[in-house]
Structure formats: structure tokens, C-alpha cells
Structure 1
Amino acid sequence: MDILGPFPLAKGQLKFLLVAIDYFTKRIEACPLAKITTKNVQRFTWRNIIYRFGISHTLSTTQEPPYRLTYGADAMIPVEVGETSHRRQVFNSKQNTQELAADLDLVDELRDEAQIHEEACKLRASRRYNTRVRPRSFRVGDLVWRLLGEARKDTSDGKLAPTWGGPFRVTEDLENGAYRLEELSGKPIPRTWNATHLKFCSHLCSHLCEHLCSHLEKIHGVS
């Protein structure tokens, strides 16, 4: 969860953005706010996260609570000591000792099963990701955007700094996904760049860039 802003004032004096990100599923929940207060953050958490998705009692990747995987038994929360729960009402010391011994005997199998669930979840996630991955290739003359690393970003823009720079023109295809680039003015870009760090410039953007380049060439030619 993070707080972005302040931004220019919007309707209702809104100038902050409260954002929660699930980095596993890439799901984003966001809410504009006029003020950042404890009450507003709590309301956002309950309405946008807990009421909609609930509170997970087990890890979805392992199907078991972390406490059980570590100690071989379910945890008892402090509130169950003061407020009698069902399992305390039906508690039997002798039966509990027998079941605890059985749980400890099976804890290795439980951990192995949890690991299988986790690996299966990773495999499903990788398959789902790979089905959406399309190999990219560029031709000489194509206009592309280049991914900006942290060192190349303009720190004055903070988190709103653009992540892509350019556009640049592809000047040479070195195969194996490597390319040489140049600026639209013709200045070569040092070193080669992999296709994973490049993306196509849209047709409209390409047309505008080409028009701008030709216009600049005419100006320099006249001068």
C-alpha cells in the first residue's frame, strides 16, 4: 500500500491517491482522497480490500497456515483464551495428546504436500504468463521506445517519471534479439539493446516523428 501525491487539486479538493497493489496477481485498488488520515486509510482498507476479498486464513499457494507448517498444529489466538470457542468447549486432554502426536508424525508429509501445491501454483502462473508473451522483433528503420532504467529516470518527477524514453530508430539487427539504435537526429546510441527493453512506437507516433524529423532537416538545410 502506498500514498501518491499531492497532485493538482481535482473536484472535491481531491489531491492524494491511496493505492494498494497485489504484486502476485498485479491487481490494483486505488482511491482518491482529499486528506490522508487514519480514518480514511482504514475505510479504504475495509471497503476496497477486506469487504471485497475477505481475510485469507491459509496461504493460497500452500493451502496451509504458516503456523501449522512450522509447528505441526493449529495456532490458538489470544481471544480464544478469554472467549470460549467451540474447540475449547469440546477439548479433551487425552484425545488432544493423541491427535497432536499424530499431527507431528504427519508434519513432514504436510510440508511436502504444501510444497507440491506451491510448485503447482507457480507452474500455473508461469503458463498463464507465457501464453500472453509474444516474441518481439524489429526491422531496420522501425521507431521504438526504450525502457529507462532507474539511473536514466528524471528524479524530479518522482514516481510519475516516464518509464520509456525515445523514440529511437533501429539501425541494425544483430540477431538473437539485439539491436543498435540511433536518435531521430541520427546520433548513434551507445551499445546494443535487447528486444525485451524495447517496444514499438505507435503508427501515429511514428508518423508524427517522421514528419518532425523531415521538418528539422529542412530547417537545418535552410540555415
Structure 2
Amino acid sequence: MVVITDNGTPFANQRIHDFCGEHQINLKYASVWHPHTNGQAEAANKNILNILKKCLDGARTHWPEELPGALWAYNTAPSEDTQESPFSLSFGMDVVIPIELEHLSPRVEAAASFEPEALQTWVDENDDSRRVNLDLLEQKRELAALKRLEHKRRVERYYNRKVSPRTLNQGDLVLRRRLLAGSNLGVPKVEPNWEGPYIVREVAGPNAYYLMTSEGAQIPRSWSGDDLKRFYA
């Protein structure tokens, strides 16, 4: 199992490292200041944040009270890429939302209006249908995974047509964008925007690099190529 997390102290500590080692969990960290490298989680967080913004209507401090409703909306709404909701992929059926019980949707009204004998027949038939849905659930999940992969490839093709990749190699000299931990404002205007030079110690992956100083000291975590630029001595 691979777990990708940010660089926060709740995850970047010895206790978590020991736990992951004991349970054969491969713990990986997103590049500093680039949490979108954990794409699936960040996409979910973005959608939940958009739902919260619509619920809050300016009362930003009340978001904890609105979070359960936002999570419910996210988990019961079909996603654009799979055309399935997280709930249906987990349980093999569409959720019955509270408003259906209050105003009696057709499927709820049908179950509520049966005579006892007919209702028992409906329950038995529904149980059989439920078993079939559960038998087909794994196939449904595989189809959703294929749809998600195809959607991802379409997005990648669109992105790659518009972006020229900037690659760095091991041993290259680079400058690193100065960032203040815990701040979205960058560095003060009077401070330089870039620091270094550093040396690319290792290519961690697409657009992600490990750095070291000119003295050979390793810089913790990987860094996104978006925050690096080539240094010409």
C-alpha cells in the first residue's frame, strides 16, 4: 500500500514512520508547497471546498457545522469522470436521501403503499435484486476505474498541448523559489524571490526533484520544478 501525504508534522514524524514500517505501508510525501501532486485527494478536497463555499454564504467561520452536509452531498452525487457516486461504488446502490422520505419519492411511495402481503413480496424481490447488485458491484467499480482513467488521459492530453515541459537533470544548478511556511503570501517584497544555488541530487519523478547544497547537504523532501529555475554560473 502507498500513502501520499503532505509535509505536515502530523505525518512527518518518527511515530508515523514506525507505524508504516510495521504495516508495510510505503509513505510518500508530496513536493513541498505542491499538494496537488496527490491528485485524487486534492480533487476531492477541491470539490468539498466548493460545496462548503456555497453553503456558507460568507459565514466562513461556520464551516465545521456545514462539513457533514458537504460530505454527504459529495458522496451521493455522481462524479464527472465515472458517472457514479462514491456511495453507489461503495454499496452498489443509489442512496435514499432524507427529502425522499419527507416528500415520498416514487420508489419510497411504492414501498409504503403496499398491502402487507404485497409488501413482503416486494421485499423479497428487492432482496434478490440487492444480491444481484452486490454481485455486479466489482464489475461496476472496474468500469468506473476505466472511465476515470480515460478522463484523466483526456485531461492530460489537453494539458500537454498547452504546456512545454521544463526538465532538469541530475547535477544541474538551480535556484529555488523562496517560500514562507504557513503563508500564502510568499516572501516580503524587500527579500529576494529566489535562493540558492542548489544542485539537483536526484530526479524524483515527473517535475519533482531532490536537492542538495553545494557542500553536499541534502535538502529534505522533493521540490516541484515549478518552484525551480536553472542557474547559470
Rg larger for: 1
TM (norm. structure 2) is 0.42
Structure of greater relative contact order (alpha carbons < 8 Å, 6+ residues apart) = 2
